[in-house]
Structure formats: C-alpha cells, structure tokens
C-alpha cells in the first residue's frame, strides 16, 4: 500500500500572516485596550531619541559643541546677574537682550544654575529637560486617554455658528457627505503642498507667525488680508461674508502654491 505524505500549501500562509498583522496594527492604533501598550512604545521611543539627540546632535551655532544650545548661556548670564543682587529688570540682560520673562522663570532657572555648576554642565540640564518633556508627554497621553472621543465624527457643528460656509444651505451643511468632502479636501490640500510646493528646505516652516511673516506684501495681498479680517468680524456671519472669506482663503492658497518657496527670486535679485 502506497502512502503519500500530505504537503502543506505554503502559499496560503502569507495572506494569513498579512491579515493578522493588519488586525494587530488596527488594534494597536484604535483599540482602547491596547492604548497604554502603544503609549509605552512611543514613550520608550521618545526617550531613546532624546538620549541620541543629547549625545550626538551638534549645536547649530557651534558645530564643535555636541549639545544643542539655544539661549541657555544667555539665560544663565541673566540668572547670574539676578543672583548677584540685581533686582531691576532693565539691568538683567544676556547675550540675546534683556530678560523678558517673569520672576518664576528667574527662580526656576536659578535652581538650574546651581544644579548645573553655574550653567556649565549643559548635558545635565538637557537631561533634566528631557525628563520634564517625558513627563509632559505622559500627561498628554492621559488627556488623550480621557478625551478619546474628542474627534467624534458623528457630531455635527451648529449651522448658526459657522463663519466659513453660510453660503450653503443648512441641509447641505449638516449632511454627512458635506463633512466627508471637507475632510478629503483638507487632506488633499495638505498632501499637495507637502509634495508639490513645500517651504524652504533649509529652515522649514517659519518659527513665528507675526507681521514679518508677510514680508513686503503687494496691494492684492494687503487687501486680501483686510477682507479676511472683515469677514471674521461680521456677526452673525452671512452668505456674503462667508463667500468673501472663502474667496480670500482661496487666493491665499493660490498665492502660497505659486510662491517662491526656495527663495530663488530673492537670490537672483541679490
């Protein structure tokens, strides 16, 4: 009697493994039962990244120094002036100018001044801030845990309070299809700018959004910003104000898209 050894179909293993990996990934991202497991992995990753940055990332302003020093020396100089008896804020100055922070800042950094050997032991200060950062991240995760339905898409914004979309009928505004279209359009615009017309590659996004952010705007830009501010001050919003606001935002997006993100025009002028 001939016996045949049954053969296993290995081709069926791969779809099964991929299916299990997909379910596991979905559970890690969306199942509340896995929240702290995912959070713990992120915390560990952040801790390792902080250690790596402290040990190996050089200072932008002085490549010879390993630490990422940003105004630390200026703060320590300001604190040393305070600890030497000065109480007049106009006389408490560092390399970046006068001290502009309240007394709580001075007291806290005075403690750091002593802990870090008069501000010399910068890596120790970095590890202290890394611990504070990790604690802040842990607190934020707890907030996410308690407010996990903050982005509940089944909720609908009240039509009476909308500033942007009053030129649509209330029935259209409250429909689920309208909210989905807005979400898809928002993601599409972000991806379009990410891959098509991002900001300067060397410095990234602007650090501060103040008047200097606009540079030397043209008359069209000035009028667009003025009209935008006017629309936000119309209460209650009307179909006309919402239409004008939409047009302003569209012009701003078009201007950003067609703008000179790499600064080549400025370089050519210089």
Highest mean pLDDT (candidates 160-174, 204-218, 220-234, 255-269)? 160-174
Residues 169 and 139 in one domain: no
In this prediction, residues 26-34 reach a mean pLDDT of 82
Residues 235 and 257 in one domain: yes
Residues 124 and 30 in one domain: yes
pLDDT at 210: 43
Whether 269 maps to a domain, the answer reads no
Question: Which residue, of 104, 119, 146, is where some domain finishes?
Answer: 146
Residues 171 and 257 in one domain: yes
Residues 55 and 139 in one domain: yes
CA 248 → CA 118, 210, 212, distances in Å?
52, 19, 20
The pTM assigned to this predicted structure is 0.53
DSSP for 52-72, please give it.
HHHHHPPPSS-TT--S--SSH
Domain range for 167 is 159-261
109-154 tens-digit pLDDT: 999 999 999 988 888 999 999 999 999 999 999 988 887 665 666 7
Is residue 80 packed enough to be buried (19+ CB in 10 Å), middle (13-18) or exposed (0-12)?
Answer: middle
53-108 tens-digit pLDDT: 888 877 655 555 655 667 888 899 999 999 999 988 888 888 878 888 888 999 99
Whether 10 maps to a domain, the answer reads no
Whether 152 maps to a domain, the answer reads no
Residues 31 and 140 in one domain: yes
In this prediction, residues 213-230 reach a mean pLDDT of 74
Output the average pLDDT for the chain: 80
Q: What's the structural domain count of the chain?
A: 2
188-215 tens-digit pLDDT: 988 888 887 766 555 554 444 444 445 5
Whether 14 maps to a domain, the answer reads no
Residues 165 and 71 in one domain: no
Question: Which residue, of 123, 146, 169, is where some domain finishes?
Answer: 146
């Amino acid at each position: 009697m001939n016996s045949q050894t049954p053969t296993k179909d290995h081709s069926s293993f791969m779809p099964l493994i991929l299916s299990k990996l997909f379910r596991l990934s979905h559970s890690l991202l969306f199942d509340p039962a896995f929240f702290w497991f995912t959070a713990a992995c992120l915390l560990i990753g952040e801790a390792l990244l902080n250690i790596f940055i402290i040990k190996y990332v050089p200072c932008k302003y002085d490549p010879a120094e390993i630490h990422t020093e940003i105004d630390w020396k200026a703060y320590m100089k300001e604190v040393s002036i305070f600890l030497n008896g000065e109480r007049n804020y106009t006389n408490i100055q560092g390399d970046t100018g006068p001290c502009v922070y309240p007394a709580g800042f001075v007291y806290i950094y005075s403690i750091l001044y002593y802990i870090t050997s008069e501000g010399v032991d910068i890596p120790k200060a970095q590890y202290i801030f890394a611990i504070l950062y990790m604690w802040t991240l842990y607190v934020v995760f707890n907030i996410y845990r308690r407010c996990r339905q903050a982005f509940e898409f089944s909720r609908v914004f009240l039509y009476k309070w909308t500033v942007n979309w009053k030129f649509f009928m209330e029935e259209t505004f409250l429909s689920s299809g309208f909210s989905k279209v807005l979400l898809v359009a928002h993601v599409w615009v972000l991806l379009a700018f990410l891959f098509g017309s991002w900001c300067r590659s060397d410095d990234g996004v602007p650090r501060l959004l103040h008047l200097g952010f606009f540079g030397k705007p043209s008359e069209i830009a000035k009028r667009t910003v003025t009209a935008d501010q006017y629309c936000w001050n119309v209460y209650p919003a009307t179909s006309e104000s919402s239409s004008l606001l939409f047009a302003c935002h569209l012009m701003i997006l078009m201007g950003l898209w067609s703008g000179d993100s790499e600064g080549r025009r400025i370089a050519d002028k210089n």
